[in-house]
Amino acid sequence: MEKVGIHDAKAPDFEDRQAGSADNELDWVEQHLEDIGALTTIPGNLRRYFNFESYLRDMKLGGEVSFEKIDGTVYAFWS
């Protein structure tokens, strides 16, 4: 899949491809999973065992999401 980023700001589907921003990629993926309700079935005392790094790696390797860092903020884009 093609990497999407800030350089595509004038593309007609740019707003649909924006996936939010965070201080870093791990914060973004944790917030994304929280937003879609994927973590609701994991009890709070077990959440620390969820491997956000592996999940993020798989999302990136699978071409689902790409990131750009600008002025200390990480922006996520759906591919």
Q: Report how far residue 10's alpha carbon sits from residue 23's, in angstroms, rounded to the nearest whole number.
A: 24
Span 39-76, pLDDT tens digits: 999 998 999 999 999 999 999 999 999 999 989 999 99
- Count other Cβ atoms within 10 Å, centred on residue 55: 16
Domain count, the chain: 1
Give me the pLDDT at residue 73, please: 92
Within a domain: 49:
yes
Average pLDDT over residues 11-39: 88
Judge whether residue 6 has pLDDT over 80. Answer: no
Within a domain: 1:
no
Higher-pLDDT residue of 17, 33: 33
Helix axes 25-35, 52-61, angle to 10 degrees: 90
Provide the CATH number for the domain around residue 38.
Answer: 1.10.10
Domain region containing 26: 6-78
Model confidence pTM above 0.85? no
